[in-house]
Amino acid sequence: MKEKRDRMQIVHDILQAIVDKQGKIKPTHLLYKSNLSHGRLMHYVQDLVDKDLVKKDFDDSSTFYIITDKGLKFLAEYRRMREFTDSFGL
Amino acid sequence: MDIVVYSPVWFFGYDSICELISMFITFFIGVYAYRIFKLSGQRKYKFLYLSFILLGIAFLAKSITNWIIYKEWVTQQLYVGKVIQLYALYNLGYLIHVVLALSAYMLLVLLLWDVRDRRVISLSFIFVIMMTILTEQVFASFHIISFILLGFICAEFWKNARKTKKKSSYFVFAGFAVLMLSQLVFVFINRLPAFYVAGEIVQLAGYVLLLITLLSIFGKK
């Protein structure tokens, strides 16, 4: 059985999903890619918007989520953090 | 009333420097682990940062205690009142070092064994207090207990290194294995002052290995 993702991993998966769509993604696509329920996803996304890792944008009455520079830095930092925690077996 | 100084005179102060360097390394690791804890909110990272911060404070306490005693020893400004003060300071510094170091090692064991039962965690810390009382004035006992706890820690890091096959995991194991070895060396400090010197150097080498691990991770893009 696949191990349950921790909060950091979920944030990473959300941001990576946005990067994979050239930095801009619709909520529906993000829902499929993130493998989260709608409620949980919205909770995480709002948290990311509040922390300035992601910003909301509107385009012809469609909502998009765009990754910010801070979000890109987090992704780079995440790999280092993962390496650190893996080296301690956590 | 004895203040036992294991260091040879020529090494006075150098052991404090070794411990200060070890302190900076453990704080560095602890602070980074704290950052990860703030991001993830997970208990395991809390245990990790706490254990390294406790180790850092333990080294700071020992370093300061040694430094003050050596300074008084070297300047030969000793009289009854001063000796009584130094004795109290020595006891306090030693106590802080032992209780914090053993707590740190115990936290790491509990973390690596994934112990979640609060009763077991509480019992472990009662043992830490008891071990601190038992090792009072018997430095070798503290090092034997540390050696055993570090042995458990090393076993887990070895399993992790074999599982992940990452260089950083092997370095973490190596660092803790060297720390375990340093505790074994310290057990013999009563025999010869050279063992104290060797123990301090080996211990520092262990922490330097952990620092190398961290720097190699930060160096990656």
Residue B135 DSSP label = T
**Is the CATH number of domain A7-79 1.10.10.10?**
yes
Alpha helices, DSSP H, located in chain B: 14-40, 43-75, 80-112, 118-134, 139-164, 167-186, 193-219
pLDDT in tens, B64-78: 888 887 777 666 655
pLDDT band at residue B1 using 50, 70 and 90 as cut-offs: very low
Domain ranges for chain A, please list them.
Answer: 7-79
* Cα of A80 to nearest chain B Cα, Å: 6
Q: Residue A17 CB: number of other CB atoms within 10 A?
A: 19
Has residue B211 got a pLDDT over 90?
Answer: yes
Cβ separation of B172 and A88 shorter than 8 Å? yes
Task: Give, in degrees to the nearest 5, the angle at Cα B218 between B213 and B221.
Answer: 125
Residue A2 DSSP label = P
Distance of alpha carbon B90 from the chain centroid: 17
Distance from C-alpha of B70 to C-alpha of B94, rounded to nearest angstrom: 14
Q: Which of A7, A8, A80 sits opposite B218 (nearest CB)?
A: A80
CB contact, 8 Å: B112 with chain A? yes
Distance from C-alpha of B138 to C-alpha of A45, rounded to nearest angstrom: 56
Give the per-residue pLDDT at B125. 87
Domain ranges for chain B, please list them.
Answer: 9-219
Give the per-residue pLDDT at B188. 85
Q: Which chain A positions have a beta carbon within 8 Å of B171's beta carbon?
A: 87
Q: Tell me, what's the ipTM?
A: 0.79
pLDDT in tens, A56-79: 988 778 889 999 998 998 888 888
Q: What's the mean pLDDT in B161-179? A: 94
Distance from C-alpha of A22 to C-alpha of B65, rounded to nearest angstrom: 58
More confidently predicted of B125 and B175: B175
pLDDT in tens, B138-151: 678 889 889 999 99
Give the per-residue pLDDT at B185. 93
pLDDT in tens, A2-52: 567 778 889 999 999 999 999 999 999 999 988 889 899 999 999 899 989
Q: Which chain A positions have a beta carbon within 8 Å of B112's beta carbon?
A: 89
* Cα of A36 to nearest chain B Cα, Å: 17
Residue A58 DSSP label = E
CA atoms within 13 A on the CB side of B208: 9
Q: Residue B108 CB: number of other CB atoms within 10 A?
A: 25
pLDDT cut 70: percent of chain B above it: 89
Strands of the A62-67 sheet, one edge to the other = A24-25, A62-67, A54-59
* Cα of A62 to nearest chain B Cα, Å: 30
CB contact, 8 Å: B122 with chain A? no
CB contact, 8 Å: A61 with chain B? no
